[in-house]
Amino acid sequence: MTNERERRQSNDIILAVEDVTLSFGGVRAITGVSFDIRKGEIRAIIGPNGAGKTSMLNVINGFYFPEEGRITFRGQTRQRMRPHVAASQGIARTFQNVALFKGMTTLDNIMVGRTLKMHKGLFWQIWRHGPALAEEVEHRKVAEEIIDFLEIQHIRKTPVGRLPYGLQKRVELGRALAMEPDLLLLDEPMAGMNLEEKEDMSRFIVDVNNQYGTTIALIEHDIGVVMDLSDRIVVLEYGRKIADGKPEVVKSDQRVIDAYLGVAH
Amino acid sequence: MDVLYKVLVDPFLQMGGAPDLFVQTLWEGFVVGTLYALIALGFVLIFKASGVFNFAQGIMVVFAALTLVGLYEKGVPAYAALLLAIGAMFLIALGTERLVLRPLVNQPDIILFMATFGLTYVLIGLGELIFGGSPKVMIADQLLLPKGDITFQAFGGIVQLQKIDIAAAVIASLMIAALAVFFQKTRIGRALRAVADSHKAALSVGISLNQIWVIVWFTAGVVALVTGIMWGARSEVSFALQIIALKALPVLILGGFTSIPGAIVGGLIIGLGEKLGEFYWGGLVGGGIESWLAYMIALIFLLFRPQGLFGERIIERI
């Protein structure tokens, strides 16, 4: 499986983060962090709680503006970005504490993910006729494909607020996939899941990467999962990068071991 | 016993005894109800998208109607004035988004609510500055709205329908239906509901909050204009008109702050309840109950369904 992925992977860099610094008031969340993500790879960001992992994702998709540093996505360099622009350029994400549209059904949630792909004018939409209807049908097909892919047919019409946590996470992944992103950011996709759910989610992540060639950056605390899934790993601690490389390398890095196990000073 | 008879039996005997009067009252209740629904709709749209109870909705009704009539008085042809009034509502939407909502994003709801108070006074001042404070007559004729009435023999008596009321009911119904379909079934409608549910998630799928806010405030502005025309044609265009916004409150409580069908059904229940209550039960306490009956009806509903008839069920996993 890893070989298959390596074959498709290129050395093209889809996203480069350079010297990014972010602080809230006087608190430094990220200090001078640089790393890159290659096209087609699964890149993990790990680190103890409060290391700045989620902040980093928020910088990448434009929720936070870094004070210093640059981000280059598909050759375009910028310092700050607005979330909906990031989305329109092909960055999708999920959230640590699931941010779904709770009152809406699974299907509607996924259809919202298609928003940027739909272009027919307001005039047709109002009458729900002609081109707008054709467009709606076409996008509905895509949404159904995603539902099949994630095996959530049975909850298609259920308001997502009623679903158990594991399924909500899956719907959230579906909504992100509906955007057909080039870069998918997953913030702890397996948090709070049992073993079986984790295995399912791992399988989906690998399948997304294989079938659609989507580049994935994920934050995850389950080290076993991270080592299995990812091609390369960045390790953050107190907002600084302490290691970066292939799983085997990171696993044996002394600073990483210290950060995770604690060290006697 | 006598009181019970007067409350529980006598009104219904009267209804049966004079069906023409009953139908007339129902009709009036229906017309007012559709207008209440329209006003409530303006609130619901904005509440759904920005989580703000827009205190300025009432003054938006006045301002829209005032712009229309004021421009006409300054010599602009009626339909051009209508288009310009729509344009003015768009500018208000744009201005509100830029100057009020955007700087206050992520602030607590109460801050935004207070900001709409500010907006109210800005609009009052602006309206008086440009068009003066004296009451004006709605240009119903010039807008080709029908006048006069239709009278027909039915139900053993005479039923009289004002043509302007028929027009109001038809236009309000069409507008409500179009908005309901628009917000339930289209991309922008879905985006709007998405924004209502979670700003963070909506942003992450590429929905621009700013754009949605402008669309929603503009839509609410157009709804305000239609309300202003219809209500203005029934009375006059003055700043006192903003009081009708208070009528929307019981409708919203009844229907739920987030539901378009709720606004419709709520509006009709309040409209019908008010007219029937006043006509058949008002006499028992010397009349004049119309102004507060709506709140009583809303209060009773509130006891049984705190989220309103069609309010979103509060789903929370613990």
Give B81: exposed, middle or buried? Use CB within 10 Å, 0-12, 13-18, 19+: buried
- Residue A251 Cα, gap to closest chain B Cα (Å): 32
Better-predicted residue by pLDDT, B182 or A96:
A96
| pLDDT band per the 50, 70, 90 thresholds, residue A131 | low
Pick from B244, B112, B263: nearest CA to B175: B263
How would you classify residue A218: left for phi > 0, otherwise alpha for psi between -120 and 50, otherwise beta?
Answer: beta
Reported as a single tens digit per residue, the pLDDT across B143-165 is 878 888 888 877 777 888 888 88
Is the ipTM value over 0.90, yes or no? no
Chain B residue with Cα closest to A168? B317
Mapped onto helix, strand or coil, the DSSP state of residue A155 is: helix
- Please spell the DSSP secondary structure of A24-77, one letter per residue: ETTEEEEEEEEEEEETT-EEEEE-STTSSHHHHHHHHTTSS--SEEEEEETTEE
The C-alpha atoms of residue B230 and residue A188 are separated, in whole angstroms, by: 54
**What pLDDT, on a 0 to 100 scale, did the predictor assign at position A83?**
86
pLDDT of A102 > 70? The answer is yes
Contacting residues of A for B190, CB less than 8 Å apart: 104, 108, 111-112, 115
CB distance B59 to B123 below 8 Å: yes
Q: Do A116 and B201 make contact, defined as CB atoms within 8 angstroms? A: no
For chain A, what is the mean pLDDT?
85
pLDDT at B313: 60
Start-to-end C-alpha separation, chain B: 51
Q: What is the pTM of this model?
A: 0.81
Report yes or no: A48 and A232 within 8 Å, Cβ to Cβ. no
pLDDT tens digits for B256-273? 787 788 888 899 999 999
Helices (H), A113-231: 122-127, 131-149, 165-178, 195-207, 223-229
**Which pLDDT score, from 0 to 100, does residue A120 have?**
58
Q: Work out the average pLDDT over B107-121.
A: 89
Give the β-pairing of B149-154 and A232-237. Answer: unpaired
**B interface mutation test: which of A95, A97, A126 has the most B CBs within 10 A?**
A126
pLDDT of residue A91: 92
Shortest Cα distance, chain B CAs vs residue A87, angstroms: 5
Cα–Cα distances in angstroms (integers) from residue B177 to residues A126, A191, A226, B173, B181, in the given order: 11, 43, 51, 6, 6
Q: Which of B182, B206, B312 sits opposite A88 (nearest CB)?
A: B206
* Residue pair B42/B251 in contact by the 8 Å Cβ criterion: no
A53-57, B102-106, B238-242, B299-303: which is most confident: A53-57
| Nearest CB partner across the interface for A112, out of B190, B200, B315 | B190
Tokens for A231? 């091609």
* Chain A contact for B315 (CB, 8 A cutoff): yes
Residue ranges in A93-164 assigned as alpha helix (H): 106-112, 122-127, 131-149
Map tokens 């008109």 to a residue.
Answer: B241
Domain ranges of chain B: 2-304
- Cα A24 to Cα B310: distance, rounded to the nearest angstrom: 41
Among A67-76, A121-130, A234-243, B39-48, name the one with the lowest average pLDDT. A121-130
Please name the member of A84, A128, A165 whose beta carbon is closest to the beta carbon of B203: A84
Which residues on neighbouring strands pair with residue B149, listed in sequence order?
B162
Read off the pLDDT of each residue in A122-134 and give the average, rounded to a whole number.
60
Decide: helix, strand or coil at residue A78. strand
pLDDT, residue A4, reads 54
Spatial CA neighbour of A253 closest among A214, A223, A218: A223
Nearest to A53 by CA among A228, A191, A215: A191
Spatial contact of A183 and A212, defined as CB atoms under 8 Å apart = no
Q: Do A116 and B206 touch (CB under 8 A)?
A: yes
- How many residue contacts between A and B have a Cβ separation below 8 Å? 98
The share of chain B scoring above pLDDT 90, in percent, equals: 22
* Whole-number pLDDT of residue B99: 92
Contact A102 B200 (CB under 8 A): no
Dig out the tokens for B163 from the structure.
């043509």
Contact call for A103 and B185, based on CB within 8 A: no
Report CB contact under 8 Å: B194, A61: no
CA A142 to chain centre: 20
pLDDT of residue B191: 86
Interface of B with A in 202-231 (CB under 8 A): 202-209
Substitution target in B182, B187, B215 with the highest count of A β-carbons within 10 Å is B187
- Indicate the residue of A102, A120, A164 with minimum beta-carbon distance to B315: A102
A147, A153 Cβ separation under 8 angstroms: yes
User: What domains sit in chain A, N to C, each tagged with a CATH number?
Assistant: 1-90+182-265 (3.40.50.300), 100-180 (no CATH)
Which pLDDT belongs to residue B255? 83
Q: What angle do CA B310, B313, B316 make, to 5 degrees?
A: 170
Residue whose C-alpha is closest to residue B140's, from B78, B227, B190, B221: B78
* A111 in contact with B, Cβ within 8 Å: yes
Q: Which residues of A touch B203 (CB under 8 A)?
A: 63, 83-84, 87
- Of A264 and A210, which is predicted with more confidence? A210
| Other CB atoms within 10 Å distance of the CB of residue A142 | 17
Residue with token string 């009267």: B14
A71 interface with B at CB cutoff 8 Å: no
Confidence (pLDDT) at A1: 47
Query: pLDDT: is A116 or B213 the higher one?
Result: B213
Q: What is the mean pLDDT of residues A193-222?
A: 91
Out of A177-191, B128-142, B302-316, the most confident range is A177-191
Report the side by side order of strands in the sheet with A68-73.
A27-38, A13-24, A68-73, A76-78
> What is the Cα–Cα distance from A123 to A110, expressed in whole angstroms?
24
Nearest-Å Rg of the Cα atoms of chain A is: 19
Pairwise CB contact (< 8 Å): A101 & B204: no
- For chain B, say whether A116 makes contact (Cβ under 8 Å): yes
Report, at the CATH architecture level, how domain B2-304 is classified.
Orthogonal Bundle (1.10)
Q: Which residues does chain A have within 8 Å of residue B196's beta carbon, measured at their own beta carbons?
A: 103
Using CA atoms, how far residue A20 sits from A59, A228, A235, B311, in Å, is 9, 28, 15, 45
Taking only residues 81 to 110 of chain A, the set having a beta carbon closer than 8 angstroms to any beta carbon of chain B reads: 82-84, 87-88, 92-93, 95, 99-104, 108
Residue B316, C-beta contacts closer than 8 angstroms, at least 6 positions apart = A161
Question: Nearest CB to A100: which of B196, B201, B209?
Answer: B201
pLDDT band at A184 (very low <50, low <70, confident <90, very high): very high
Note whether B164 and B145 are within 8 A (CB).
yes
Q: Residue type at A99?
A: A
Q: What is the DSSP string of chain B?
A: -HHHIIIIIHHHHHHHH-HHHHHHHHHHHHHHHHHHHHHHHHHHHHHHHH----TTHHHHHHHHHHHHHHHHHTT--HHHHHHHHHHHHHHHHHHHIIIIITTTTTS-HHHHHHHHHHHHHHHHHHHHHHH-SS-B---TTTTT---SEEEEEETTEEEEEEHHHHHHHHHHHHHHHHHHHHHHHSHHHHHHHHHHH-HHHHHHTT--HHHHHHHHHHHHHHHHHHHHHHHHHHS-BSGGGGGHHHHHHHHHHHH-TT-HHHHHHHHHHHHHHHHHIIIIIGGGGTS--HHHHHHHHHHHHHHH-TT-SSPPP-----
Contact B207 A84 (CB under 8 A): yes
Dist. CA A190–CA A194, nearest whole Å: 8
Which residue reads 């009953």 in tokens?
Answer: B22
